[in-house]
């Protein structure tokens, strides 16, 4: 059987791989077919009917589903096809809340772009005005069915990629909606707040719970000392909000913008990532040496932590007790930094700029308040920071680069790579040799844990100890890995899990790229390049070499894993019911 078939699309002869679709073949020929529900690798169900084409059958067919065949003749542009697409789109629009000017996705809405591309100037159908209640009870995600177009991308990513399955299509025909079981709020479901549903939504039916107004209020409050800390993945994607190519690093401009927003200090969460490695690496060494519970599983991803609490409560003792870098940093800012600078910790307001919607949930965990105050007061996403920059009238592209503030803005390259899948593992394995032997490793770049494979494994020999490690990203992959660990089929010393596919660089709070981009470009790979580029350029690439972290221990914490460090930098987690009775 030939690996390719020859077909004709709009009179153009095309050779396409056998088994591909008409949509894929049309792309090879440079022919554009509009889509709405289609998202490569996630949602390929032909539900919206926007991509219909004429293949000589009795009715028009969905190009995203129709397979190519030898000699197939396809027409993608005819009066009948254009009218079919327009009717379909007008029917969708007739039942859609048309508040475009005030919608969070205005200007970056796939439905809006389709209406423009198909020259929709009026809507010939009068639909029922949608009036669904907005679910805004979750600390992370707002769900607004008044804007939903029933594309089911959110359903697919939640069910098939993340294996969380807290939303699905319910009812039939005209009354179909996307809802949680029993019409619960997302807050009352096993939703892990990862926000992957937001990033795949083509419209504004899903968005993050905005914290912008509260941050503006804090910045205007003269009694507060407002500190921003920024996660590594933010600098790899923020530029996209201002038209820069995907993966453009904008660290200096980001810092400059935050200072123009009048934050009292702008610090680097990567500093706390280095601190995390010292604590987590010490925890790993102690468990290996003293027969502790293995594998040790990382605890930096709050979406993964909640997933574990719901789905793998029997493995909670395997979780590292280390807080995530954002909360370690918050605890240090309200203890060490407050004392050093003579600031009342009750007056310190910590704002985390994160690529992650789950960080909003994490910041509200009651167990993360070691100083008597919440470690982190508010979390804004990369998108929300861009919103604030635009609202303040800051010309981001023409900002001069500025450095992070001292003394909490110094980080190693190991701290930077926390933003990509495998980064926490690689950073830890760079420092574990030192924690075991007092000597630096011969090899800094551990490429076996890099890349986009869903599950990666590596073995590293240190001081005669062979450490077997695994990395999983995306909760579906995490589930596969942990089921093997639970059954005893696989054994490891150390496991890194990130809730979002690709790690934080594609977190739920990152800039939203439309399907037309996501279908052609791997966002994970492009954004990861910015992270690895900064790591490679760093003068310090090992967490234990970070002078700021060394000073934390010398002046305040004592030793890694010591009493004071444990009080401030460690926590605990609790098993959760999936659907608790009220």
Residues annotated as catalytic (active site), given as ranges: 280, 283, 300, 320, 359, 362, 367, 504
Q: How far apart are the C-alpha atoms of 308 and 437, rounded to whole Å?
A: 33
CA angle 470, 472, 474 (to 5 degrees): 175
Question: Alpha-carbon torsion 522, 523, 527, 532, what sign?
Answer: negative
Determine the distance from the C-alpha atom of residue 168 to the mean position of all C-alpha atoms in its chain, rounded to a whole number: 21
d(CA 350, CA 330): 7
User: Sign of torsion, CA 133 138 139 143?
Assistant: negative
Residue burial 403-433, b: 16+ Cβ < 10 Å; e: rest: ebbebbbbbbbbbbbbbbbbbbbbbbbbbbb
3-class SS letters over 399-427: CCCCCCCCCCCCCCHHHHHHHCCCHHHHH
d(CA 523, CA 531): 13
Q: How many CB atoms lie within 10 A of CB 30?
A: 9
Our CA dihedral for 74, 77, 81, 83, rounded to 10 degrees, sits at 180
From residue 12, give the alpha-carbon distance in Å to each of 5, 34, 36, 527. Answer: 14, 18, 25, 36
User: In 3D, which of 561, 554, 548, 332 has the Cα closest to residue 435?
Assistant: 561
Q: Angle CA(228)–CA(233)–CA(235) in degrees, nearest 5?
A: 65
């Amino acid at each position: 059987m030939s690996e390719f078939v020859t077909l004709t699309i709009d009179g153009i002869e095309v050779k396409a791989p056998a088994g591909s679709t008409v949509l894929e073949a049309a792309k090879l020929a440079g022919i554009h077919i509009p889509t709405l529900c289609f998202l490569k690798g996630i949602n390929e169900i032909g539900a919206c009917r926007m991509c219909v084409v004429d293949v000589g059958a009795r009715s028009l067919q969905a190009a995203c589903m129709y397979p190519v065949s030898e000699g197939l003749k396809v027409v993608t542009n005819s009066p009948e096809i254009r009218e079919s697409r327009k009717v379909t789109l007008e029917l969708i629009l007739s039942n859609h809340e048309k508040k475009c000017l005030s919608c969070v996705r205005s200007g970056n809405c796939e439905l809006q772009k389709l209406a423009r591309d198909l020259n929709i100037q009026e809507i010939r159908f009068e639909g029922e005005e949608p009036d669904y209640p907005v679910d805004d009870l979750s600390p992370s995600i707002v769900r607004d069915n008044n804007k939903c177009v029933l594309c089911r991308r959110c359903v697919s990513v939640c069910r098939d990629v993340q294996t969380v399955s807290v939303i699905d299509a319910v009812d039939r025909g005209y009354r179909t909606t996307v809802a949680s079981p029993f019409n619960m709020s997302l807050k009352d479901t096993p939703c892990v707040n990862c926000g992957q549903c937001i990033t795949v939504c083509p419209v504004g039916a899903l968005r993050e719970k905005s914290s912008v107004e509260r941050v503006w209020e804090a910045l205007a409050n003269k009694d507060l000392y407002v500190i921003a800390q920024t996660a590594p993945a933010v600098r790899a994607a923020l530029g996209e909000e201002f038209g820069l190519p995907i993966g453009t690093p904008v660290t200096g401009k980001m810092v400059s913008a935050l200072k123009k927003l009048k934050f009292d200090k702008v610090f680097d969460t990567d500093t706390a990532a280095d601190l995390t490695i010292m604590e987590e690496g010490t925890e790993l060494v102690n468990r290996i040496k003293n027969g502790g519970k293995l594998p040790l599983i990382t605890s930096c991803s709050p979406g993964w932590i909640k997933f574990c609490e719901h789905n793998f409560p029997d493995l909670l003792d395997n979780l590292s007790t280390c807080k995530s870098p954002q909360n370690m940093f918050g605890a240090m800012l309200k203890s060490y930094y407050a004392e050093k600078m003579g600031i009342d910790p009750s007056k310190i307001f910590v704002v985390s700029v994160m690529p992650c919607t789950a960080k909003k949930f994490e910041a509200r965990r009651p167990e993360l308040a070691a100083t008597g105050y919440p470690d982190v007061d508010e979390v804004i996403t990369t998108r929300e920071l861009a919103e604030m920059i635009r609202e303040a009238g800051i010309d981001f592209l023409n900002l001069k680069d500025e450095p992070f503030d001292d003394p909490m803005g110094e980080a190693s390259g190991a701290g930077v790579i926390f933003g990509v899948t495998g980064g926490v593992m690689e950073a830890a394995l760079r420092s574990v040799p030192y924690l075991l032997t007092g000597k630096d490793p011969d090899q800094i770049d551990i490429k076996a844990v890099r890349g986009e494979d869903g599950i990666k494994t590596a073995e590293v020999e240190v001081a005669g100890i062979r450490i077997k490690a695994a990395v999983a990203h995306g909760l579906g992959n995490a589930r596969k890995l942990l089921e093997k660990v639970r059954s005893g089929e696989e054994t490891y010393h150390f496991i890194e899990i990130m809730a979002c596919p690709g790690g934080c660089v594609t977190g739920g709070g990152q800039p939203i790229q439309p399907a037309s981009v996501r279908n052609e470009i791997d966002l994970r790979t492009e954004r990861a390049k910015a992270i690895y580029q900064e790591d490679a350029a760093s003068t310090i690439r090992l967490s234990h070499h970070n002078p700021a972290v060394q000073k934390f221990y010398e002046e305040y914490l004592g030793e890694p894993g010591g009493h004071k460090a444990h009080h401030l930098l460690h926590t605990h987690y609790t098993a959760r019911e999936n659907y608790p009775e009220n």
